[in-house]
Structure 1
Amino acid sequence: MKKIFLALLLAISQPALAAMSLDKVILYLDDTPSARDDVVITNPDNETLYLQTEIFRVDNPGQENEQRVRVVNPDEFKLLVSPAKAVLAPGERRRFRLMALDRDLEEEKVYRVTFKPVVGKIKTEQTALKILVAYQALVFVQPSDGQYKVELVGEGDSYKLVNDGNINIEVVEVRHCLDDGSCKKLNVSGRLYAGTHLSLEDVPKDGELEVLLRGRKSERVRFPLNS
């Protein structure tokens, strides 16, 4: 009997058709003793799902020197996931609890938690190909009084959106609007971590910019442009 196992591990930010599904992939926690949240994982497959977790600390998020460091030393664990391993029967749902141990933060901490299937037994008399897809959750541990502070800064003939706060915010959409009410969507979006910026190119000098921001809540802000 010939067996071939192929593990294809893809870390993605949104749920997709695969051998498991997550009810959320972005979590917000505070630096308080009771800070915790749950991720519910479902196994829709007709085979048993063997699952394990990995925790990565994200250093310098959103910057050129960003690094994702896997946390393996128990003394360095500031984010706990329980259970760390699980076996899900076909159709079963399992709750994974994430708990933050960071306290009195001046700036948010960013983590990525990978939920990774591992190969179980394949019973077949033929060549077997098994594809495993891992999902990764983005976890923000934020100061209890954390705030983002987005400003529009002119830079020569261009502009940039700067976050001078101590937590991140996602720029969902940017539109350039004229005084007559007409607006044009600009091709810019992304996550603004603390101390980072998004560049805006070819922005007219009149009217204003309307920016849709999304974090724990969403809001639209307007920035007048110099005529």
Structure 2
Amino acid sequence: MRALNPTHLSCFGAMLLLSLLAVPTPAMGELLIDKLIVELRQGKVNRQDLTVWNKSPDRVYILVEPSLITNPGKSTQRRVNSVDPREIGLLASPQRMILEPGQQRLLRIASLTTDASLERVYRVTVRPVVNEDAADGGLELLVGYDLLVLARPAITDFSVTTLRQGQQLTLRNEGNSSVELLKIRQCDRSGHCSDQTGKRLYAGAEWQTQLNSHGPAELFFSTADGPKTKTVK
């Protein structure tokens, strides 16, 4: 098992992966996936099937690479790759595909962990690769995806603590599963409201932001068990 420092790893949502590779033609392929964030739940939804679609006029060779994200959302965050899915606790199958023009195939994402009490965070890279039999030629921009996979425990605990000092707000996720702070809303006495965008907050992670005003703030969350709100005065 090998740990990599994810200098390009995003903590919010699914990240688009771009790479320049030497290939025989200058055309850009079109690879589509129907879901970029996969949520699994221990004992309820242990696997999901995604559709991978080749919309290009050319045959596409695809490589699928799952990774475990350790300490997500922290300065010590690392990306761990392994050829053995049992080591990281996630199966992505098949790991290689050949798609003809217009062809669709299913990609199965399955959790192999059965006793986790804390959410496990993964990235699954799905990217076109160069056909090894092709002759050398020009350059083509190949577009792939870095899917976000959240393998949640059977019972999740929503526990986000807040600390406010003036307009500075600090949030910490004390629960066992990630939450997405959708927005922060503040309204003045006349009823005019302004919204700030939030971010995904992984279990154990902390985030600071500057509020728009000194008035109360309402926080809107999306959690594993539905929407939640929290007011900070």
Q: Is the TM value for this pair above 0.5? A: yes
* Alignment deviations for residues 10-60 of structure 1 (CA, whole Å, 9 cap, x no partner): 988267995201101101112238610011110000001111111111000
CA distance in 1 between counterparts of 2:218 and 2:29 reads 37
Q: Give the Å deviation of 1:86.
A: 1.1
CA contact (8 A) 2:67 2:88 kept: no
Pick from 209, 218, 225 the counterpart of residue 217 of structure 2: 209
Pick from 131, 139, 143 the counterpart of residue 153 of structure 2: 143
Aligned to 1:113: 124
What letter is aligned with 1:137? L
* Alignment deviations for residues 59-104 of structure 1 (CA, whole Å, 9 cap, x no partner): 0000011001112245414111121111111001111111101122
Q: Say how many residue pairs are matched.
A: 212
CA distance in 2 between counterparts of 1:33 and 1:170 reads 21
215 and 202 in structure 1: CA distance in 2 versus 1, 3 angstrom threshold? closer
219 and 32 in structure 1: CA distance in 2 versus 1, 3 angstrom threshold? closer
| Equivalent runs, 1:11-160 vs 2, <5 Å | 13=14, 19-32=30-43, 35-73=46-84, 75-120=86-131, 127-155=137-165, 158-160=168-170
> Identity over aligned residues, as a percent?
29
CA distance in 1 between counterparts of 2:78 and 2:177 reads 18
Larger CA Rg, structure 1 vs 2: 1
CA contact (8 A) 2:157 2:175 kept: yes
Pick from 190, 195, 205 the counterpart of residue 199 of structure 2: 190
Task: Supply the RMSD in Å over aligned alpha carbons.
Answer: 2.7
Higher strand share: 2
What letter is aligned with 1:193? Y
CA distance in 1 between counterparts of 2:225 and 2:16 reads 21
CA contact (8 A) 1:35 1:100 kept: yes
CA distance in 2 between counterparts of 1:156 and 1:150 reads 19
Unaligned runs of 5+ in 1: 1-9
CA distance in 2 between counterparts of 1:167 and 1:220 reads 14
CA distance in 2 between counterparts of 1:173 and 1:33 reads 29
57 and 108 in structure 1: CA distance in 2 versus 1, 3 angstrom threshold? same
CA distance in 1 between counterparts of 2:16 and 2:200 reads 19
216-225 vs 86-95, which moves further: 216-225
CA contact (8 A) 1:23 1:41 kept: yes
Structure 1 residue runs of 4 or more that deviate by more than 6 Å after TM superposition? none
177 and 95 in structure 1: CA distance in 2 versus 1, 3 angstrom threshold? same
Unaligned runs of 5+ in 2: 1-7, 18-27
CA distance in 2 between counterparts of 1:11 and 1:173 reads 22
Aligned to 2:187: 177
Aligned to 1:162: 172
Aligned to 2:208: 199
Q: Give the Å deviation of 1:199.
A: 1.1
